[in-house]
Structure 1
Amino acid sequence: MHRLLIIILSIVLIASCRSTKKIQTAISKKDTSAKVVLQGVREDSMQYFRKMVSEINANRIQYNTFTSKVNIDYEGSDGKKYNINANIRMYRDSAIWISANALLGIEAMRVLITKDSVKLLNKLEKTYTARSVDYLQEITSLPLDLFTLQDIIIGNPVYIDPNVVAFSKKNNTITLLSIGNWFKNLATLDAGNNSLLHLKLDDVNIARNRTADLNYSEYENKKGFLFSTKRRVSVTEKTRLDIILDFKQYELNEQVSFPFSIPKNYDRN
């Protein structure tokens, strides 16, 4: 259960793992990829789309605190399906607190993530676990820290690099391919408002065969900003993980607290 929750916290948003042979064939090495995909593309056009990446980052949701209630459907590599409800609280650049409920509304897990640590209370098994923040990377095989995880939860773009090497515009969508230190990121955007529709992440190191899809849908603007209330997550490396997140309630800049006391009878891992 604790591994499931950490994975959910660490990815919170992705879908349908498909192979990316076309991308991997055209872009096998970062230092040669631009020559392959930029052939015949006008530099002024590329500057325009690089500018768009800057605008996307400038349109990130700004907040001090964030609270939400989210329903999570999860299917593991064993084919088993689970459903949990979670309460999430965040203080920007400081902490993420999550309380996850199992059947009958019983709290099963409480998690507190800071810049330096990950702490877990497994209330079903009465255990307490404390690790460094590197635990996020160990358990998810993704380059995660507190700041990236907060962006993922609130719906801000992640791993989009200014190094745009290809683009296309079709109907009402724009697709950008950028290459960063970790991922080749194929981002699909709504041409009308630059909201994210899909992120396809593939490891720059193709030997790892790590891939992830993040789908954003059912946007609404009830709080003065666009927010994706439905996200679908899929991550594959050695095993496959599928998650659907349905945000039922969310608020910005309300007062938050992070209760996290360790009962004396809990075993420490």
Structure 2
Amino acid sequence: MKYIAGICLLALVMAAATSCRSTKTIQTAIAKKDTAHVVPVVDHRADSMLYIKKVWDTIRKNNIDFQTFSAKIKVDFEGGDGKKNDFNAFVRIKKDSVLWININAALGFDAFRVLVTPDSVKVINKLNKTVQLRSVESLQEVTRMPMTFADLQNLLIGNPIFLDSNINSYKKDERTISLISLGILFKHLLTVNKDDYTLQYSKLDDVDVIRARTAYLTYGEYQYKNGIRFSTYRKITVSEKSKLDIEMQFKQFDFNADLSFPFTIPKNYRRQ
């Protein structure tokens, strides 16, 4: 059950997966796929620049804005050892302020409670009667990237992460449009639906070829609620020396309802 605590945090801060390292074979396949039918921006054609600006502005405009968010998420996790784990996570968010997670163990009882703020991470382990109190920088140490509260929030809400305006090429087909940008940390391939600009796929390749970090994020099964298009299915696939898969099915979700964030540390719990 201690293993599930790590899975919980990993599933809810999906970018942690990007700290893994890709194998040479997978990296080669990725490179071939990304360069197909790409239109470079270096020619500075006015129509290309205007088109990219239109797509970029629409993606930004489509970002989900909210005050509060709540959801029940079924999380399936498979690590490099081939073992599968699953659990239910109940998530509540107050925008830019609090991220609250309650984890149910296999038999349905509360196992972990997590509270993340812009400067802290607290984890109550009800199974071992322990509590961990950490700074938000501890997530950055685990993920080896400058993760912020806003990044975690966007991951759960379904907004793009590590979005960079330094776009050097794009590609499109009958169903999708992709922008390829080069940021400080990542080369980012972001793919949206051609009709409604909903996120379909995001791939992050580390610009450091020695580290060769790569993560895939897939978005699907959109539902329309309270004027918001929301992806109820997410999948993260990461390959290092082994493969990591995380699937998240949002069984229930709601926006802008009144929420509470109960988090009381029992006096007899031991601090780790």
Q: Same fold (TM over 0.5)?
A: yes
Match of 2:165 in 1: 162
Question: Are positions 1:7 and 2:14 aligned together?
Answer: no
TM-superposed CA distance for 1:147, in Å, is: 0.5
> TM-score, normalised on structure 2?
0.88
- Residue 156 of structure 1 and its aligned partner are, at CA, apart by 0.7
Query: Is contact 2:72–2:250 with CA below 8 Å preserved after alignment?
Result: yes
Check whether the contact 2:180–2:188 (CA below 8 A) recurs between aligned residues: yes
Cα 1:62–1:92 change in 2 (3 A) is: same
Corresponding position of 1:121: 124
Identity among equivalent positions (%) equals 44
Cα displacement (A) at 1:102: 0.7
1:53 and 2:60 are equivalent in the alignment? no
- Matched ranges for 1:219-238 at <5 A: 219-237=222-240
Structure 1 position 104, deviation (Å): 1.4
Alignment of 1:100-119 (within 5 A): 100-119=103-122
Determine the structure 2 residue equivalent to 1:21: 28
Segments of structure 2 that go 5 or more residues without pairing to the other structure are none
- 1:246 and 1:95, CA in 2 relative to 1: closer, same or farther beyond 3 A? same
Tell me the equivalent position of 1:211: 214
Q: Which residue in the other structure is 1:267 paired with?
A: 270
How many Å apart are 1:51 and its aligned residue? 3.3
Q: Distance in 1 between matches of 2:219 and 2:17?
A: 8
Q: Which runs of 5+ in 1 are unaligned?
A: 28-35
Q: Summarize the alignment of residues 89-108 of structure 1 with structure 2, pairs less than 5 Å apart.
A: 89-108=92-111
The residue identity in structure 2 corresponding to 1:113 is V
State the secondary structure of the residue aligned to 1:160.
Answer: coil
Runs of 4+ aligned residues of structure 1 deviating over 4 Å after TM superposition are 12-15, 22-25
Q: Contact 1:13 / 1:231 at 8 angstroms: preserved in 2?
A: no
Q: For 1:134 and 1:54, how far apart are their aligned partners in 2? A: 31
Please name the residue that 1:171 is paired with. 174
Shift of 1:214: 0.4
Contact 2:91 2:101 in 1 (8 A): yes
| Cα deviation 1:4-59 (Å, max 9, x = unaligned) | 111111117999x783437769x9xxxxxxxx944546243033213321221121
Task: Give the corresponding residue for 2:133.
Answer: 130
What displacement does 1:236 show? 3.8
Amino acid at match of 2:49: M
CA distance in structure 2 between the aligned counterparts of 1:104 and 1:219, rounded to whole angstroms:
30
Q: Which residue of 2 aligns with 1:33?
A: none
Tell me which of 67, 70, 83 is aligned to 2:70: 67
1:243 maps to what in 2? Answer: 246
Is the 8 Å Cα contact of residues 41 and 169 (structure 2) preserved in structure 1? yes
Q: Distance in 2 between matches of 1:216 and 1:250?
A: 16
Kindly tell me: are residues 14 and 228 of structure 1, through their superposed partners in 2, closer, same or farther at Cα, counting changes over 3 Å? farther
Q: How many residues align?
A: 260
Report the TM-score when normalising by structure 1: 0.89
The structural deviation recorded for 1:70 is: 0.5
- Within 2, Cα distance between the matches of 1:13 and 1:226? 25
Equivalent in the alignment of 2:154: 151
Q: Which amino acid aligns with 1:183?
A: F
Shift of 1:238: 5.7
* 8 Å contact from structure 1 (residues 54, 162) kept in 2: no
Q: Is the 8 A contact 2:15 2:143 kept in 1?
A: no
Name the CA shift for 1:237/1:95 in 2 (closer, same or farther; >3 Å).
farther
C-alpha distance in 1 between matches for 2:30 and 2:102: 39
CA RMSD of aligned residues (A): 2.5
